[in-house]
Amino acid sequence: MKIDIVTLFPEFFEIAFSFGPVRKCIENKNLEINLYNLRDFADSPKEVDDYQYGGGSGMVLKIEPLVRALRKLKKENSVSILFEASGITLTQKIINELSKKEHLILFCGRYKGVDERFKNYIDMEISIGDYVLSGGEPACFVFVDAISRLMPNALSHTDSLEGDSFFWGILGYPVYTRPREFEGHKVPEVLISGNHKEIERFRKREAIKKTFLIRPDLLKNLNEEEIEILEEIKKEAKNVQSKNN
């Protein structure tokens, strides 16, 4: 995969991409990342932003350098993305779909945002959450890091992906390591039993339980077995509530 990033601060990524799965993917040549300074596409280095029409505080990134950058980088197989607060919220499903693309062009907004007309030229707008960042660079890094984890040889153990939160659309199961007991808190016996079938069922149940308690909105596409587990969890929660009352 090839990823082109257009930003006012390329140096942000030089450090961010120097470790972890992203670096590994670059070293394995499964991922090519190119950084482009938006100022290089402006009439002069200082002409990347301007005041808002209609007044108001905050500068706006101009449309000309943004479109020039897009036209220089865009190919037939490209998908162009702007990191923008009003974009669709990033999910693992979107990451899975975009990880199959050959070429991504990522634009990092800054200041008050980009000229609204630029959105007519790009394919997608993505947000990573309902909060304010100083620019699109942190969101872009989150996106690239998530993409890189799905690439061949990015992780030492690829099966660890299956236990990650959101990989199957729900939160991940709880994990434990040594010691077996700490200040009265014990590792669940089933995880020490060596019974892999029971361990798998325990983990699935705990993942569904955690999702039910924290993010019930994610419990939409469960199979029959998972629905049965969820119903058991709901009954237990109801019984506990009745006892407390």
Q: Which residues are annotated as a binding site?
A: 109, 128-133
- Residues of each annotated binding site for S-adenosyl-L-methionine: 109, 128-133
The span from the CA of 210 to the CA of 213, in Å, is: 5
Pairing of strands 185-186, 181-182: antiparallel
Tell which residue, 106, 23, 22, 109, has the closest CA to residue 61. Answer: 109
- The CA-CA-CA angle for residues 159, 161, 166, to 5°, reads 145
Longest dimension (CA), the chain: 71
The span from the CA of 191 to the CA of 189, in Å, is: 5
The span from the CA of 183 to the CA of 109, in Å, is: 48
